[in-house]
């Protein structure tokens, strides 16, 4: 079994004396940060044991590594409002969910940080816009998780210690992690089946959490994958479980972060495709593949998929511009925008693009898109 | 500024020359970065073995029970 990132799977879930907790100062943090609190506590973000300090943040921004040299690309930060600054050295309760041992309260240049994380400080970038809207002050320090909530997707919310036991029980020596934030089209299915020819199992790990308006909702993604796996993947070689964290749209830096999280779940391989975690035209389509050249010590093997998939009417199967010699007019593209349009009009996409069972699952959702 | 500190260790020259050849064309930019990587792997492997002992049979059985309950295991 592959070692967790940094060598040790973090477990900071505690059963505290409730009287002690009641006496501590209680601080509210945004609801969407609950997921990251839990991810730290159950080891998805190993080796992090809490929110980053100033030195750790600077090291991640400037070197893409923690101060001890371990690869880490996305700073996990706790923004705090002026009215709720916790005292350095104090213990505070965050949203009744975790105790934080506050080591320091600090500020830094957020625009410079945005350029490091996202490669831009343009507020046209949804990740930058969100990041720059955060308070200017941050609290760093270890956390202990008081409540290990598995909702809203209880049945599909495995912890790294559980997936590690599961992979071992299934005798999977090699496991490929598959990141997704969209329902599966036949291009995804084809890719997953190809990868299953290389490894023992596939861990389909949709990212559940805050996304930008117009993206598919969490339940749409999960339900459509359930249908796809039930009908078209060998069930003993595929596992579906969520990763609850927000999309940052940080392209290459987020691709490395995604790989680290999947390594902690026990994946030996991680699939990175065109424009992974990208948005608009902010990143070169292969930037998220090439970034891994800077991390030969990551420990997880990257399966890089270059090029765009489409269905070719001449080849009569799925292809990409790297494999198909025919003209563009012979291609049916997997445009996410087109699939969204068809869904809005309740028109079925061609079978070459999306399985009818999967599309039926999408139609079941009254509100399939974020913010609509 | 990051708070990284370094120290020096000695290795046989022959080994250093072998490493130099081995890292040609890889993402490793120096003998030091390769040696650091190898040592981290070794130490994390030892720590992983230690951790395995901490994860008791009883804990593992509880996890298996939950996985069976959710249909992930037969």
The domains found in chain A, sorted by start residue, are 5-145 (3.10.400.10), 154-363 (3.40.50.620)
**Are A6 and B2 a contacting pair at CB < 8 A?**
no
Q: Residues of B with CB below 8 A from A161's CB?
A: 55, 59, 63
What pLDDT is stored for residue A99 in this prediction? 94
Residue contact A55–B3, C-beta within 8 A = yes
Chain B nearest CA to A341, separation (Å)? 35
DSSP structure string for A29-97 = --GGGHHHHHHHHHTTTTT--EE--HHHHHHHHHHSB-TTS-B--S---EEE-GGGPPPTT-EEEETTT
Q: Are A2 and A299 in contact (CB under 8 A)?
A: yes
Residue B49 has a pLDDT of: 62
Q: Give CA–CA dist A172/A266, Å, rounded.
A: 10
Identity of the residue in B37, B71, B72 whose CB atom sits nearest the CB atom of A297? B37
Inspect the interface and report whether the beta carbons of B40 and A70 lie closer than 8 Å.
Answer: yes
Query: Is this complex scored with an ipTM above 0.90?
Result: no
Of B1 and A100, the structure prediction assigns the larger pLDDT to A100
Interface with A, mutate which of B37, B45, B63, B65 (most A CBs under 10 A): B63
Q: Test A294 with B27 for CB contact under 8 angstroms.
A: yes
C-alpha to C-alpha distances, A310 to A147, A327, A354, nearest whole angstrom: 45, 12, 11
Residue B1: pLDDT band (50, 70, 90) is very low
Predicted local confidence at residue A310, as pLDDT: 86
Is residue A47 reached through a cis peptide bond, with omega within 30 degrees of 0 on the bond before it?
Answer: yes
Q: What distance, in Å, lies between the first and last C-alpha atoms of chain A?
A: 43
Tell me which residue range forms the domain holding B59. Answer: 13-69
Take residue A264 and report the two structure tokens written for it.
């902690």
Question: Most B CBs within 10 Å: which of A4, A6, A7, as the mutation test of the B interface?
Answer: A7
For A298, which residue in chain B has the nearest alpha carbon?
B37
The predicted model scores a pTM of 0.86
pLDDT of residue B48: 65
Query: Do the domain assignments include residue B2?
Result: no
**Residue the block writes with tokens 């609190």:** A37
pLDDT at A263: 97
Query: With contact defined as beta carbons under 8 Å apart, do B40 and A299 qualify?
Result: no
| B→A interface, C-beta within 8 Å | 1-4, 26-28, 33, 36-37, 40-41, 43-45, 47-48, 51, 55, 59-60, 63-64, 66-67, 70-73
DSSP run (H or E) holding B59: helix B57-69
Contact call for B72 and A166, based on CB within 8 A = yes
Catalytic residues of A: 181-182
Choose the closest CB to B64 out of A67, A169, A294.
A169
- For chain B, the domain total comes to 1
Q: Which of residues 17-76 of A touch B (CB under 8 A)?
A: 55, 58-59, 62-63, 67-70
> How far is the alpha carbon of B39 from chain A, nearest alpha carbon, in Å?
11
Which of A4, A58, A70 faces B1 most closely, judged by CB atoms? A58
Mean pLDDT by 10 residues, chain A (372 residues): 90 82 86 90 96 96 92 95 81 92 94 96 94 94 92 92 96 95 89 94 92 84 94 95 92 97 97 88 91 92 87 88 89 80 86 90 85 69
Residue B5 lies in a domain: no
The rounded distance, in Å, linking the Cα atoms of A20 and A5 is 33
**Reduced to 3 states, what is the DSSP secondary structure of residue A275?**
coil
Rounded percentage of chain B residues whose pLDDT exceeds 90: 35
Is B72–A239 a contact, with Cβ atoms under 8 angstroms apart?
A: yes
DSSP state of A90: -
- Provide, as residue numbers in chain A, all residues whose Cβ is less than 8 Å from the Cβ of B26: 296
Say whether B43 and A7 touch across the interface (CB within 8 A): yes
B2, B19, B49: best to mutate for the A interface, most A CBs within 10 A: B2
Chain A, nearest residue to B25 by Cα: A293
């Amino acid at each position: 079994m592959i070692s967790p990132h940094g060598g040790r799977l973090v477990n900071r879930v505690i059963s505290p004396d409730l009287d002690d907790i009641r006496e501590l100062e209680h601080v509210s943090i945004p609801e969407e940060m609950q997921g990251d609190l839990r991810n730290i506590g159950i080891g998805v973000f190993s080796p992090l044991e809490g929110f980053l300090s100033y030195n750790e943040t600077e090291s991640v921004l400037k070197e893409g590594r923690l101060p001890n040299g371990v690869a880490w690309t996305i700073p996990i930060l706790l923004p705090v409002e002026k009215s709720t600054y916790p005292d350095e050295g104090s213990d505070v309760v965050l949203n009744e969910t975790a105790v934080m041992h506050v080591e320091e309260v600090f500020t830094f240049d957020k625009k410079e940080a945005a350029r490091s994380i996202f490669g831009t400080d343009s507020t046209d970038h949804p990740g930058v816009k969100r990041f720059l809207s955060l308070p200017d002050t941050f609290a760093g320090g270890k956390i202990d998780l008081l409540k290990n909530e598995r909702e809203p997707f209880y049945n599909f919310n495995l912890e790294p210690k559980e997936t590690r036991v599961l992979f071992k029980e299934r005798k999977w020596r090699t496991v490929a992690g598959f990141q997704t934030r969209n329902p599966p089209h036949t291009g995804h299915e084809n890719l997953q089946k190809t990868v299953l020819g290389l490894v023992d199992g596939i861990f389909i790990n949709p990212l559940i959490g805050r996304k930008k308006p117009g993206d598919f909702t969490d339940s749409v993604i999960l339900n459509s994958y359930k249908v796809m796996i039930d009908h078209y993947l060998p069930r003993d070689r595929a596992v579906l479980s969520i990763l609850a964290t927000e999309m940052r749209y940080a392209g290459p830096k987020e691709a490395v972060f995604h790989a680290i999280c999947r390594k902690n779940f026990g994946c030996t391989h991680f699939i990175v495709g065109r424009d992974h975690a990208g948005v608009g035209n902010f990143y070169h389509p292969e930037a998220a593949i090439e970034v891994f050249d800077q991390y030969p010590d990551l420990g997880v093997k990257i399966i890089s998929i270059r090029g765009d998939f489409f269905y070719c009417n001449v080849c009569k199967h799925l292809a990409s511009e790297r494999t198909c010699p025919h003209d563009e007019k012979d291609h049916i593209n997997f445009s996410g925008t087109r699939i969204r349009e068809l869904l809005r009009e309740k028109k079925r996409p061609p079978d070459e693009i999306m399985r009818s069972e999967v599309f039926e699952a999408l139609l079941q959702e009254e509100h399939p898109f974020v913010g609509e | 500024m990051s708070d990284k500190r370094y120290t020096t260790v000695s290795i046989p020259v022959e080994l250093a020359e072998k490493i130099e050849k081995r890292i040609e064309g890889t993402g490793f930019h120096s003998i030091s970065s390769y040696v650091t990587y190898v040592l981290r792997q070794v130490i994390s492997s030892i720590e992983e073995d230690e951790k395995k002992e901490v994860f008791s049979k009883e804990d593992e059985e509880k996890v298996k029970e939950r996985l069976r309950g959710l249909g992930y295991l037969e």
